[in-house]
Amino acid sequence: MIELKQATKLYRLSERVEVRALDNVNLRIEDGDFVIILGPSGSGKSTMLNMLGALDRPTSGSVILDDVDLARLSDNGLSKIRRYKIGFIFQFFNLVTTLTAVENVMLPLSPVERNKAKLQQKAESLLTSMGLESRMDHRPTELSGGEQQRVAIARALMADPRIILGDEPTGNLDSKTGHDLIRIMKELNVEKGITFIIVSHDPSIASVGNRVIQMKDGHATEVPPPNPTDPPTTFASSA
């Protein structure tokens, strides 16, 4: 469904210094996968996520989504891919502080959907599904970190994407809250068939994935997921 073919990304820091952030990576991700990408800082995992999310183009190689080479699309074409096919969840939530929770969830489709009442109804339904029915009119500063990330998940779902990418989505949360949110994502993966690709430096979340990719020095290696019953992963019963 989405594939990297010999994808390489180079960053030139100066005339004599070049960083190979991604080095000839081949990876195929199927519909319904829940992929955990692990690795330390500087390993290339965020660079790979940016490629998969049509946020950046490879220096060489290809990124294929539904048989379309994203590197060949115009900026407008990539924008449409990001708007309708891919949802994003970030470590620091990236909510607009002047907007309410429901307004933040509406944001991805606000520029293109004229029926604002329909848009708000859908946003409210998504927030309700996240257990935030009483927090819709609160601004981000009035929400806890876990609540802000649930707003961000609802926002990522707004355009009914087939793929959701998470860049360290639990990295700014305590362990229990982070595990609760990973559980929500897994439920969405199982119940709605949404493909999740989660970047993390935390190996304790690896057991939730059906696939685990280990990144090191720009190289990607698939490794077996740990047994879900093995410590240290313990998922809470409620979010």
The pLDDT tens digits of the residues spanning 143-174 come to 999 999 999 999 999 999 999 999 999 988 99
Label residue 232 by pLDDT band (50, 70, 90): very low
pTM, full prediction:
0.89
Contact 56, 21 (CB under 8 A): no
What confidence score (pLDDT) does residue 97 get? 96
The average pLDDT across 12-28 equals 89
Label residue 228 by pLDDT band (50, 70, 90): low
The average pLDDT across 57-61 equals 93
